[in-house]
Structure 1
């Protein structure tokens, strides 16, 4: 499934145009077979796959959907006279914009990075990008130093979080993730070698 993503939250808040049935409900995922091997079978919840063919339900519309469980406003689609091939031409921009508003809300709930640190990160990014163009080996060396630094600090932060016996739901909101992904991220930094 092709997800709408943004850098900070990645697939944790990946979005897509999900199917809405005539009764307003959301159908179960469907499986599409694009070839002759097991690897060619794809699971999706994208609205266009619900075309009524091969025992699949017929979507009456679409809405923004997020991997975190959030759902947006339904948008009906007049499918009368529409061929299967024309489904890809339906404009789902309204759903994408709804998902963007959801991401904005997630960002507002997340714990802010202090302004001075955010500015320093932006400056470092620009400096490293320039160095990668002018002196790529020096850029790789600097990035190695930065990775070691961030690894050590991340482990220290993860230990502090774990020692506080956190409510993972609260940690997840602060990070803009769900509780399970927040717990996994913390464990990743604890045990990463």
Structure 2
């Protein structure tokens, strides 16, 4: 049977299972302990887009906060520069898309080279994969994939 994370699809239609509760979940595999009862009459009255999912969303927000607290911090000046660059590129993509493409092309090599150097240096620290994964806020398989991808020559 096809599965989806769209909770509203589990309403019993076409022999689909009927969900009794909602629970926060993350692509990293985390699942919240709390179950939030689902009122299908309220869903029918309000529609799935208006149904109150704040309980599982709050659980997920707390999970993300917990993950971020365990990660290696990015220096504030780098965060500010990235935000400024993103805003400028977004504007440029609308106002002057060809200039935006040139700017993105100019960034590709230095970003790839910095990623390769950082990935190689991170592995040279000889830390366990789970330690690196925690520092990056990723699962261990995602961390391995990312570092291997970064380590390839640009």
Fold shared, TM-score > 0.5 on shorter chain: yes
Distance 1:109 1:161 in 2: 17
Task: In structure 2, list runs of 5 or more residues that go unmatched.
Answer: none
Distance, in Å, in 2 between the alignment partners of 1:134 and 1:158 is 35
* Structure with the higher fraction of residues in helix conformation: 2
Q: TM-score, normalised by structure 2?
A: 0.79
- Of 102, 107, 130, 2:91 maps to 130
Aligned partner (choices 59, 63, 69) of residue 23 of structure 2: 63
Matched, 1:179 2:140: yes
Secondary structure at the counterpart of residue 110 of structure 2: helix
Q: What are the within-5 Å matches in structure 2 for residues 30-41 of structure 1?
A: 31=1
| Aligned CA distance change for structure 1 residues 137 and 59 (closer, same or farther; 3 Å) | closer
Contact 1:47 1:61 in 2 (8 A): no
User: 1:137–1:95: structure 2 CA closer, same or farther, 3 Å change rule?
Assistant: same
**Structure 1 length normalisation: TM-score?**
0.65
Q: Is structure 2 residue 74 aligned with structure 1 residue 113?
A: yes
Residue matched to 2:152: 191
Please give the per-residue CA displacement for 1:74-105, whole angstroms capped at 9, x wherever unaligned: 112355xx49x839634323212221221122
Pairwise CA distance, 1:170:
1.2
| 1:48 CA drift (Å) | 4.1
5+ residue gaps, structure 1: 1-30, 32-41
Mean Cα deviation higher: 167-176 or 51-60: 51-60
**How many equivalent pairs are there?**
150
| CA displacement at 1:64 relative to structure 2 | 0.9
For the residue of structure 2 that corresponds to 1:43, the secondary structure is coil
Q: Distance in 1 between matches of 2:140 and 2:44?
A: 39
**Pairs within 5 Å for 1:17-32:** 31=1
Give the distance between the partners of 1:128 and 1:44, measured in 2 at CA: 34
Q: Distance in 2 between matches of 1:109 and 1:162?
A: 19
d(CA) in 2 for partners of 1:47 and 1:74? 13
**1:132, CA displacement in angstroms?**
3.1
